[in-house]
Amino acid sequence: MNSTVSSSQVDATSGSRTGNGGRPAPTARGVLVLGLVGLVVVLALVSLLSIVVGARSVGLGMVADALRDYQPADGDHQVVINRIPRLLAGLLVGAALGLAGAVMQGVARNPLADPGLFGVNAGASLGIVCAISLFGITAAAGYIWFAFAGAAIVAVVVYAVGSLGRDGATPVKLALAGAAITAMLTSVTTAVLLTDATTFDQFRFWTVGSLTGRRLDLVTQIVPFIVVGVFLALSIGRLLNALSLGDDVARGLGQRVGVARATAATAAVILCGGATAIAGPIWFIGLLVPHIAG
């Protein structure tokens, strides 16, 4: 009788997992932590490159000098300082739209759902254009509320239109309603811009979206709204998991479906409104980021 015990038997009895050479195999949690650390490192490197590389490249030493002792008369220092708001705006907009896309995909049970497809970005953009064109509001503190109003109204309209018919708000009907309303709102926005030719160049930003020329004061005004939206979105993670199984299953698990949908819609509206106020209607970020992260 063989008195030796194989490593697999020891692993089976102890519940541990070992790889080659008796070393513990990485667990799912360990792989997740390593993946997150790797992504943070990549994000830091890309962020640094966004400051260093451009139409006028600067060295790392110059970046350090500008951050440590900014000299307004130095052209390289001006380049560095002017690129920082663009970097912060990009990080905020990417996080907001990515999280909003994940929320909308969970609520709609549609892997193609995103703020651009469902018309939320277009509604926020039209609200800002109307605020600037009709009421002369140019400060972010003023037109951010028009962005929220436009995003909220469009979200309600898309859901109402998608709910028509026998089967209610199916993923396909919501996507079709969102695409149709987005096309309509984009046309209305363009019409408003064309009627004000003297300021067309100023407003053109709100039809295509961009991170160019974003000021630090604008970014700081929008940050509180993005933080609130992120908090709401993260607080309903379990509710979204239940909703992804269907309304009946979610109710069977004790979830209040109406409250969950209302909270998710509020989070998406705040995130999309804030992101659009900074960078205009940027598409596809909300669609791609949840799938890449998953």
Beta-carbon count within 10 A of 176 CB = 15
- Residue 16: pLDDT over 80: no
Range of the domain at 202: 87-293
Average of per-residue pLDDT values in the chain: 81
| Residue 252 belongs to some domain of the structure | yes
- Residue 59: pLDDT over 50: yes
258: CATH = 1.10.3470.10
Least confident segment among 33-42, 97-106, 132-141, 184-193: 132-141
Higher pLDDT, 45 or 215: 45
* Count of domains observed in the chain: 1
- Residue 176: pLDDT over 50: yes
| Residue 257 belongs to some domain of the structure | yes
| Residue 144 belongs to some domain of the structure | yes
* Structure confidence at residue 231 (pLDDT): 92
| Residue 196 belongs to some domain of the structure | yes
Distance CA(281)–CA(147), nearest Å, equals 11
- Residue 107: pLDDT over 80: yes
DSSP annotation of 2 reads -
Read off the pLDDT of residues 202-214 as tens digits, 9 standing for 90 and up: 666 666 777 877 7
What pTM was computed for the model? 0.78
- Residue 181: pLDDT over 90: yes
- Residue 60: pLDDT over 50: yes
| Token pair in block for residue 175 | 């996507």
What length is written for the chain? 294
Region of residue 15 (left: phi > 0; alpha: psi -120 to 50; beta: else): left
**Which of 57-66, 72-81, 134-143, 261-270 is predicted most confidently?**
261-270
| Residue 176 belongs to some domain of the structure | yes
Angle at 111 between CA 109 and CA 112, to 5 degrees: 115
* Structure confidence at residue 202 (pLDDT): 63
Q: For residues 181-185, give the mean pLDDT.
A: 92
| Residue 192 belongs to some domain of the structure | yes
* Structure confidence at residue 41 (pLDDT): 92
| Residue 36 belongs to some domain of the structure | no
H or E segment to which residue 187 belongs: helix 171-194
| Residue 269 belongs to some domain of the structure | yes
Contact at 8 Å (CB) between 95 and 282? no
Contact at 8 Å (CB) between 98 and 233? no
